Amino acid sequence: MADVTLTDQNFEQEVIESDMPVLVDFWAPWCTPCKIVGPIVEELAKEYAGKLKVGKVNVDENGTVAGNYNIMSIPTIMFFKKGQPVKSVIGAQGKEHFKKAVDEVLAS
């Protein structure tokens, strides 16, 4: 399970105010590519525990956050560092692609 279920109500506290870099998975339950990416995000949460916070935003239930970051396609994986979005990966990708993105964010 991802570290945090993110909502319109807790996004600022959990992501923007986080001391740690955050991976945010914007998804929806009806989205087939999201179902492919979900288990990869879960694996990343375990592999990078203590280095990266991982959260999921259901865009159907949390339209304000999705709108604030112009999420037009899902899944969108967005990385935040010091409260700012620093990288995005849109669509279903392989685990290695996501790992490379995580490593880039952590190294920057």
Q: Identify whether the C-beta of residue 78 lies closer than 8 Å to the C-beta of residue 87.
A: yes
Give the predicted TM-score (pTM) of the model: 0.95
For the chain, the domain total comes to 1
pLDDT of residue 19: 95
Task: Go through 1-31 and write b for each residue having 16 or more CB atoms within 10 A of its CB, e for each that does not.
Answer: ebbbebeeeebeebbeebeebbbbbbbeeeb
pLDDT of residue 62: 97
pLDDT under 70: residue ranges of the chain: 1-2
Going by C-alpha positions, the residue among 80, 105, 108, 106 that lies closest to residue 13 is 80
Within a domain: 98: yes
Cross-strand bridge partners of residue 54: 23
pLDDT of residue 2: 60
Within a domain: 21: yes
61-to-3, 64, 108 alpha-carbon distances in Å = 18, 9, 32
Active-site residue set: 31, 34
pLDDT of residue 3: 74
The range of the structural domain enclosing residue 73 comes to: 4-102
Residue 30 belongs to domain with CATH number: 3.40.30.10
